């Protein structure tokens, strides 16, 4: 919104931000709230990206209706030291530091910002925030503006280190900015075909640092290093051996406070040191960032600029190094592309357009962020780009409108909407073919009808398989797939009903044959020398999947079907065989925990018993009800309880386990669970033994 292309929206956004800040930061609010908690509402502005947008583009907006609120907003923020909480002030300082060079450029144009920034930079209440290095860098930047706005001379006098510098106002002004990279093809060729190696750099450094070598030899080594480092490939080894630190120390020593003139033997040293610093800081941001916090180095460079006044070339190089340090926070790398006959690329530096326009930078560099990167919409959208005319939003709108027109009934919409759309081709809300297809498959009734028609009209097995795969996906997709299956059964196509009925009969017959094969394999375990437990476990796992699928089908159909005599006998035989397997590996409570062998077999067999019993239960609910009712009546006497207990001795857990399982089964019908509850009440009505050892031989029903 701060970068919106429409002036009305930008103006409204800046004015609202200014109103929020004024309500949160004022004398009255600070007096009423000593903790300054009201200033927390300004946190949304205390971000470097937001402040960069305001300083780079809001202050320079061509509309006064935008630039003036932006100035007021920044002015209130930077003068709020005594009106906000400490953490808010620290957050503001941290967010403002990267954009301070941009903001400072506007101080020469606005008295409001000039006064606000002066009070912000010269604040002494918290020296950890407005440190001397920040003030020094701001003061040095101020002399690159046409209207200087900070008193550097006052700072230097207070520091006590430099009091003889005169004419500071135009000291750092350079008439002709220098280029930081070679501009002709010859220099480009010379750099690309550099003959110096890393070992030569190390040797020159050792000579320069030598205490026994003659001064002329050391100066020659330093000048040779300045020539070598034109090749950026040698910078790494130079920095690795701390060559830049040695150069800076040398520069500080020859520009001490007591030095008032540069002799002829010192001038080559100054020129070489400045050249090395310039080429290193142009390509290495880490070194540039580290040196930008060296206050003593900045003061020495300033003194050196004063000493080299008479040499335009030397003073220009010194001003370039100073500018690289004080504008480091806003410098960005920029790759200059190939042009003309030049076949090489150089990484040069770039400054924000707001800085280039308001400072007299001593070196040439391109600019960036001339237009806000957040201003993505430069012209009003064309009607073809309207999201309500094309795209997902338009599709959703058309479908919703047509469904609402036909009473929110999808099947009616699928049939009638197509006819009405054909009669009115100019209606922008008519359903397209893809819209109609999406609508058809969004409802169980219409989806089932479409799939049935597709199966009936299939011209090949591949097409039918594809439709069946789609039907399987739809079954899993619809919430409560019973609706989809019911829709298939209730479809008006008798041909389809016959086809699906035959398919279902074939499927059930396959299940029956597969269970018969499994039963035969399980009965092979009756052999006395049978030890193939892995084979039995795999067989039981297969039966687990089969019985689970059958139970799911029966539950989804939600109807009682009479089980055939063949299936009933098969299920009884399977249950009998599974009970024998469980009894063989699970004799008594806790016996299976004594050995690892047979645990998988016992687990799978138990799962099969539960699922097969569940399958039989789906067919005959009334059988279970009457059985439990009879058992409940028999258990009203102690003798009846004993008789029931003897009948359930083969089942794990006995009578008690069976009764509790039925009672706690939430999927069981309430009538059956009610009879199980009556049976349990009758069993606990008799006096129980204190422990299993006290149970008489005729009262086994008391054992749990």
Least confident segment among 187-196, 203-212, 372-381, 670-679: 187-196
Q: According to the model, what pLDDT value does residue 623 have? A: 64
User: Does any domain span residue 91?
Assistant: yes
Same domain, 420 and 314: no
Residue 450: CB partners within 8 Å, gap ≥ 6?
Answer: 440, 441
User: Does any domain span residue 450?
Assistant: no
Same domain, 340 and 213: yes
Task: Answer left, alpha or beta for residue 558, where phi above 0 means left and psi between -120 and 50 means alpha.
Answer: left
Please check the confidence at residue 60 and state whether its pLDDT lies above 80. Answer: yes
Same domain, 590 and 615: yes
User: Does any domain span residue 699?
Assistant: yes
Residue ranges making up the domain that contains 406: 381-440
User: Does any domain span residue 212?
Assistant: yes
Is the alpha carbon torsion for 178, 183, 184, 189 positive or negative?
A: positive
Cα 570 to the chain's mean position, in Å?
57
Cα 250 to the chain's mean position, in Å?
50
User: Does any domain span residue 258?
Assistant: yes
pLDDT per residue over 680-699, tens digit each? 898 888 765 545 555 554 45
Beta carbons within 10 angstroms of residue 389's beta carbon: 12
Same domain, 644 and 686: yes
Last residue of a domain, one of 368, 401, 430: 368
Same domain, 654 and 571: no
Last residue of a domain, one of 307, 338, 368: 368
Same domain, 239 and 257: yes
pLDDT averaged over the chain? 76
User: Does any domain span residue 446?
Assistant: no
Same domain, 605 and 673: no
Residue 465, both tokens: 């398989």
pLDDT per residue over 114-162, tens digit each? 888 877 876 544 445 446 787 788 878 877 765 555 444 444 544 544 4
Same domain, 631 and 677: yes
Cα distances (Å, whole numbers) of residue 329 to 94, 101, 106, 348, 572 = 12, 8, 17, 16, 85
- 3-state DSSP assignment of residue 369: coil
Q: How many domains does one find in the chain?
A: 5
User: Does any domain span residue 153?
Assistant: no
pLDDT per residue over 550-598, tens digit each? 544 554 444 444 556 677 788 878 888 887 887 776 554 444 444 555 7
Same domain, 268 and 187: yes
Q: According to the model, what pLDDT value does residue 56 have? A: 87
d(CA 471, CA 465): 10
Same domain, 190 and 333: yes
pLDDT per residue over 213-245, tens digit each? 898 999 999 999 998 888 888 889 999 999 999
Q: Which of 538, 524, 525, 540 is nearest to 606 (CA)?
A: 540
Last residue of a domain, one of 315, 345, 368: 368
What is the SS3 string spanning 279-327?
A: HHHHHCHHHHHHHCCCHHHHHHHHHHHHHCCCCHHHHHHHHHHHHHHHC
d(CA 579, CA 573): 10
Q: According to the model, what pLDDT value does residue 273 have? A: 92
Same domain, 22 and 115: yes
User: Does any domain span residue 475?
Assistant: no
Same domain, 274 and 385: no
| Phi, psi values for residue 632, rounded to 5° | -65, -40
Q: According to the model, what pLDDT value does residue 15 have? A: 93
């Amino acid at each position: 919104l701060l970068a919106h292309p429409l002036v009305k929206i930008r103006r409204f956004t800046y004015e609202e931000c200014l109103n929020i800040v004024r309500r949160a930061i004022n004398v009255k609010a600070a007096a009423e709230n000593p903790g300054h908690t009201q200033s927390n509402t300004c946190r949304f502005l205390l971000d470097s990206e937001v402040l960069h947008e305001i300083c780079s583009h809001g202050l320079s907006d061509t509309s006064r209706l935008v630039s003036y609120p932006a100035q007021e907003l920044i002015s209130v923020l930077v003068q709020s030291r005594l009106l906000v909480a400490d953490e808010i002030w620290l957050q503001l300082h941290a967010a403002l530091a990267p954009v301070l060079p941009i903001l400072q450029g506007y101080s020469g144009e606005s008295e409001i910002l000039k006064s606000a920034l002066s009070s912000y930079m010269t604040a002494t209440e918290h020296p950890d925030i407005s440190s001397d290095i920040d003030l020094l860098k701001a003061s040095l930047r101020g002399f690159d503006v046409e209207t200087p706005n900070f008193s550097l001379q006052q700072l230097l006098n207070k520091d006590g280190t430099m009091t003889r510098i005169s004419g500071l106002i135009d000291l750092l002004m350079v008439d002709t900015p220098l280029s930081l990279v070679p501009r002709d093809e010859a220099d480009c060729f010379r750099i690309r075909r550099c003959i110096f190696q890393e070992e030569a750099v190390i040797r020159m450094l050792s000579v320069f640092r030598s205490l026994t070598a003659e001064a002329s030899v050391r100066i020659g080594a330093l000048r040779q290093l300045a020539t070598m480092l034109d090749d950026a490939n040698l910078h790494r080894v130079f920095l690795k051996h701390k060559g830049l630190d040695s150069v800076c120390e040398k520069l500080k020593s020859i520009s001490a406070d007591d030095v008032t003139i540069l002799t002829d033997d010192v001038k080559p040293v100054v020129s070489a040191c400045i050249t090395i610093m310039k080429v290193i800081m142009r390509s290495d941001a880490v070194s540039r960032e580290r040196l930008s916090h060296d206050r003593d180095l900045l003061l020495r460079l300033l003194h050196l600029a004063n000493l080299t006044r008479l040499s335009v070339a030397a003073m220009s190089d010194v001003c370039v190094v100073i500018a690289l340090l004080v504008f480091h926070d806003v410098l960005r790398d920029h790759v200059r592309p190939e042009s003309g006959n030049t076949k090489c690329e150089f990484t040069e530096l770039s400054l924000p357009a707001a800085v280039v326009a308001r400072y007299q930078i001593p070196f040439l560099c391109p600019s960036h962020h001339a237009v806000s990167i957040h201003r993505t919409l430069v012209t009003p959208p064309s009607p073809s780009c309207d999201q309500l005319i094309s795209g997902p939003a338009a599709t959703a709108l058309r479908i919703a409108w047509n469904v609402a027109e036909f009473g929110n009934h999808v099947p009616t919409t699928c049939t009638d909407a197509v006819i009405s759309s054909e009669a009115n081709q100019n209606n922008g809300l008519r359903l397209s073919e893809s819209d109609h297809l999406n609508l058809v498959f969004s409802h169980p009734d219409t989806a089932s009808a479409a799939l049935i028609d597709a199966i009936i009209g299939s011209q090949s097995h591949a097409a039918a398989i594809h439709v069946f795969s789609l039907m399987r996906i739809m079954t899993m997709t619809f919430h409560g797939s019973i609706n989809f299956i019911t829709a298939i059964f209730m479809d008006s196509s008798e041909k389809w009903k016959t086809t699906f009925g035959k398919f279902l009969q074939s499927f059930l017959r396959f299940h029956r044959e597969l269970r018969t094969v499994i039963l035969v394999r399980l009965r092979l375990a009756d052999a006395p020398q049978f030890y193939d437990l892995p084979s039995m476990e795999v067989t039981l796992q297969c039966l687990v999947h089969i019985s689970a699928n059958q139970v799911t089908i029966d539950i989804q159909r939600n109807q009682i079907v009479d089980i055939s005599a063949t299936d009933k006998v098969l299920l009884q035989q399977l249950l009998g065989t599974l009970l024998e397997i469980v009894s063989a590996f699970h004799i008594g409570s806790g016996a299976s925990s004594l050995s690892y062998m047979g645990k998988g077999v016992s687990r799978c067999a138990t799962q099969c018993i539960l699922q097969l019993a569940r399958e039989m239960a789906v067919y005959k609910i009334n059988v279970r009800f009457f059985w439990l009712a009879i058992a409940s009546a028999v258990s009203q006497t102690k003798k009846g309880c004993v008789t029931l207990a003897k009948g359930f001795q083969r089942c794990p857990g006995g009578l008690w386990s069976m009764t509790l399982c039925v009672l706690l089964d939430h999927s069981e019908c309430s009538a059956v669970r009610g009879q199980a509850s009556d049976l349990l009440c009758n069993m606990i009505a008799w006096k129980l033994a204190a422990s299993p050892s006290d149970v008489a031989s005729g009262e086994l029903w008391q054992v749990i």
